[in-house]
Structure 1
């Protein structure tokens, strides 16, 4: 039996050897650190036996799939600890997630953080017990009986939901047994560095029609030092939380009268409008024409687009003049109608139409999160209508535009290609052509990319751009979707060079993703200390006493005449107090004015970057900050607070 390893080398083994035994043959150190295996791309247990030629990778905690197996084991240990301490609790599900894991429990009352210490201690005890982990399978009837006798109704329901013929597997560690597909570690021993992070409510199966369960979020690492480093990052993330900074900096708020519907305050609107002006500037340069389409359109449109059949549960609907209407969850159908307002020629293509369109999507209340997950948001959409031979060049143009914007804000990013989902429309041939076009464009441009099988939109494959912020967290923002379906459904046409009618191809794309979410991301990325060009207040003028209010007003007028965003603090407070407050507001520049400044036409400059800089001629300061803003200096060179 030939086994092809990750480096391309081949080794021969007798059939029946386990993944762990192969790891031991390769290296004792590798075997000690192994978490799971990958056989022909499928994640498997170390205890899995090999019986035929295959490709094999041995995965450690350094691999994402290795982390997944490690933390999935930790989730079972969490459930085991909870059952030991609170035997009446019922088990739901407990998957690994990015940077950690969670487990959902049915309990009369929610878990409190005060209970976390006891649960953590029990988990560490389970690790010290070095419990071997065993996998076993049962026929459906026996599996149901086992979970019924254990008093686990949620597990019974999960088994009943499995399709006929599905393998029903369990994992046992000591007295604890859980329904699970795996994979898991070989024992509980390696999982010593654990931390319970928070408790939250979660609906069973994610449906608000079901019972609310108690969810515990946690994380686990192989080393205490790695756990501590991660916890420090989480503490830093709390300081940067855009919801906290949004309140402190008076950018936005979300009120009980509109859960998931953000209110932007004056300073937030300054930030938002500056971002939108930048968006308009780069899109005009890239040859886009801006349009605006209605928020509410009738059912017939959404039937034609496919949203009524494929997306209705996420849409808000209403009745007008005895006809069904929907508030748009996406801008694209309106863009189709704009295209159809007149007959197009091949000479008109590519046609790039951009729209800052307000869309509404129904999100579960438990999923709402500040500006990151809302029920209404402004998508910086664009739709590009083109000839088939223009596809690759247009995709490349969008990739270049997205790259320019992300680098301008100092973001690194990764690229993923998402392929056809199960719930989709269109022919296999169209999907294959579309997917190949996306991959070829990325390959031509030298991009590394990951394939996300089955994660495309229902009308076409897509390229997703995952931003990485200064804490190493990733955010889904930009996307490019190639679509052969909607032009067909809306019967879009153009007159070709041959004088005949043809069907255009289209691209859906966003750069920022949504204005609201992007503001949330950059608020956390910059910790509220926005680059000068973007800051809601760029300069704060502080007179040292009432005697110099008139000069402070004169300074403010001169700055505003130069197009700068300025505030003046004339409160009867000590100057030191006013300076500290202005610093807390992350204002890029503070100007203090008193007798000497008024007499000499100067200002005492304090900058966020350099601290106290001393006196400067007012006109010289205006020239300096104006040049900084005009060239977008701070973000173009990637500086952060």
Structure 2
């Protein structure tokens, strides 16, 4: 008999070899029908997994993040099976689940189109209706080779060849379809009730441009059709909010073939960017930060010392200066450390809080580039804090409170994830345990719930990530806090303690926006281009009813501009209705209509982008209203 702890609470005994699904049925048949997978001792497994030893078991539904991974992993196999039925000569690459659906890379001579996706989708629905059991089999490496050779799956053979000679390899079968896969999967295809294939893209095999380019098929699936319908509506809304489309329409930024992945900010985009940076600087000054600036090109040896060479060099750019090797920085931390080494600090000087708007460059594959969201050059709103061990908790809390305040200004809700030690990391387990527990203690002190991402930390330390939820419910990873014992050791930095002895400080790395470029992209989509007054490149447009009132319009503009407001006059010989529509399309917060009545009474007729017609008000009342909204960073919500 074995002991099973259910959902972290009740303990029961079962026969050795009992499957997870039967344990769920023991709770209730209805409960079992709602499940997609199981977490056994923290690892996700199939519901059909036999359990052979004492363990904790947690059951997963589609609503759970890990549950979605199981569901979408199965969906990608159903898609691959449909492709093989329709295109028997297709060869399969890999097909993982994603945060939002799934994909499969296919090698097929025929170029697939949107019409082909619809055929594949129809075949997937047929496979679902066939209610095929999904069966896991474990085989030797040689057996796996024989099976995949017989099926002509060259890419699977490459994967198998890279595995250890004595590896036990898992295959999954559903009907006539067999795939090399670690799992986990649903017990049967019938659970995937609603599916939609969304797009096709190109992707190099194993992300290597020297390899053949495959066709990547993307899709999404749900338990119910209504969930799919809701998701497709969200996709339509997301298209309307696409920052690349709005960035062009609002004249904020552009991308050019001469610099793929390197954004060009236009004058209006720079206004938005500078307002964000100004806000960032003000809030950091209030909290005792100093600002530094470090070079973007540093000697290659530095990156060996920091560990980036061993852990990050494939993402870096390199150059030669005076016959010596240099690297363009992918991160700001080594430059900050060199600055620290310019001094000899006492324990009385700590904590040091050094912020840096640091331009970094990272080599991203061309297929991964996406507007401002994924670029090759971006500015991190970095800060590095050098602290005494006794100060770690308070400084972590200070960063958490700063992040919370900044996100509240933009009306973002968020959740927090804690990422622990990855396989390819530096330092001892003891150092990692101290660092991880330090982050946990700070989160507990602030009563913040968090999700644990096992093995997803930085190579030099564990981290807390802030995932922001935008206006239509999507999440974006932005801020991060990393606790680091490794860099201070590698660079041998010290402070002098109260006994006049050298001690090593603890280093905190953190960002709040994440990167200015990406945060702007997120803001464009979050606000659908309708920025709050304080961020808007143009805060008001003055619209004279006819040429006769142009002088008065420019008089109002001059007064508002003298107070720091960003105001334009539309003096074109167009009808007022046309001018209002144009300003509305440009998403200007306020339209100030002026005619004879307004000129005589030194007033303006105000139309709000968000609230509609506000009527006629005096210039002084307008100034007071704009100043209050601007200073308080108010987000005006449209009336329902």
Query: What is the TM-score of this pair, normalised by structure 1?
Result: 0.97
Offset of residue 294 of structure 1: 1.1
Distance in 2 between residues matched to 1:112 and 1:384, nearest whole Å: 52
Offset of residue 639 of structure 1: 8.4
Q: Is the 8 A contact 1:531 1:640 kept in 2?
A: no
Match of 1:379 in 2: 380
Match of 1:303 in 2: 304
Distance in 2 between residues matched to 1:500 and 1:46, nearest whole Å: 58
Distance in 1 between residues matched to 2:221 and 2:269, nearest whole Å: 37
Q: Give the direction of change, closer, same or farther, for the CA distance of 1:47–1:348 in structure 2 (3 Å limit).
A: same
Match of 1:535 in 2: 536
Q: Is the 8 A contact 2:364 2:375 kept in 1?
A: yes
Offset of residue 7 of structure 1: 5.3
Offset of residue 134 of structure 1: 1.9
Matches within 5 A, 1:13-32: 13-32=14-33
Q: Is the 8 A contact 1:526 1:640 kept in 2?
A: no
Distance in 2 between residues matched to 1:68 and 1:418, nearest whole Å: 18
Residue 412 (structure 1) aligned with residue 397 (structure 2): no
Match of 1:159 in 2: 160
Match of 2:404 in 1: 403
Q: Secondary structure of the residue that 1:162 maps to in structure 2?
A: coil
Q: Secondary structure of the residue that 1:311 maps to in structure 2?
A: helix
Match of 2:588 in 1: 587
Residue 232 (structure 1) aligned with residue 233 (structure 2): yes
Offset of residue 369 of structure 1: 0.8
Q: Secondary structure of the residue that 1:633 maps to in structure 2?
A: coil
Q: Secondary structure of the residue that 2:635 maps to in structure 1?
A: helix
Matches within 5 A, 1:95-494: 95-494=96-495
Distance in 1 between residues matched to 2:321 and 2:253, nearest whole Å: 32
Offset of residue 640 of structure 1: 11
Q: Deviations over 1:143-192 (max 9, x none)?
A: 11111111110111111122333321111111111111122222211212
Q: Is the 8 A contact 2:134 2:174 kept in 1?
A: yes
Q: Secondary structure of the residue that 1:634 maps to in structure 2?
A: coil
Mean CA deviation greater in 237-246 or 500-509: 500-509
Q: Deviations over 1:418-455 (max 9, x none)?
A: 22222222233222221221111111221111222222
Q: Is the 8 A contact 1:350 1:390 kept in 2?
A: yes
Match of 1:509 in 2: 510
Distance in 1 between residues matched to 2:172 and 2:502, nearest whole Å: 61
Offset of residue 2 of structure 1: 2.3
Residue 6 (structure 1) aligned with residue 7 (structure 2): yes
Q: Is the 8 A contact 1:410 1:639 kept in 2?
A: no
Offset of residue 574 of structure 1: 1.7
Distance in 2 between residues matched to 1:414 and 1:260, nearest whole Å: 29
Distance in 1 between residues matched to 2:241 and 2:265, nearest whole Å: 19
Distance in 1 between residues matched to 2:68 and 2:309, nearest whole Å: 39
Distance in 1 between residues matched to 2:629 and 2:572, nearest whole Å: 29
Q: Give the direction of change, closer, same or farther, for the CA distance of 1:616–1:423 in structure 2 (3 Å limit).
A: same
Distance in 2 between residues matched to 1:95 and 1:311, nearest whole Å: 23
Q: Is the 8 A contact 1:352 1:385 kept in 2?
A: yes
Structure 2 residues without counterparts, runs of 5 or longer:
none
Q: Deviations over 1:376-409 (max 9, x none)?
A: 0011011111111111111111111111111221
Distance in 2 between residues matched to 1:457 and 1:136, nearest whole Å: 35
Q: Deviations over 1:84-109 (max 9, x none)?
A: 11111111111111121111101124
Structure 1 residues without counterparts, runs of 5 or longer:
none
Q: Secondary structure of the residue that 1:71 maps to in structure 2?
A: helix
Matches within 5 A, 1:50-61: 50-61=51-62
Mean CA deviation greater in 248-257 or 424-433: 424-433
Distance in 1 between residues matched to 2:454 and 2:136, nearest whole Å: 28
Number of aligned positions between the proteins: 639
Distance in 1 between residues matched to 2:638 and 2:572, nearest whole Å: 33
Q: Deviations over 1:297-324 (max 9, x none)?
A: 1122222222223222111111111111
Query: What is the TM-score of this pair, normalised by structure 2?
Result: 0.97
Distance in 2 between residues matched to 1:453 and 1:485, nearest whole Å: 19
Q: Is the 8 A contact 2:8 2:57 kept in 1?
A: no
Tell me how large the CA RMSD over aligned residues is.
Answer: 1.6
Q: Deviations over 1:261-316 (max 9, x none)?
A: 00001110000000000000000000001111111111222222222232221111
Q: Deviations over 1:344-380 (max 9, x none)?
A: 1211111111111111111111111111110000110
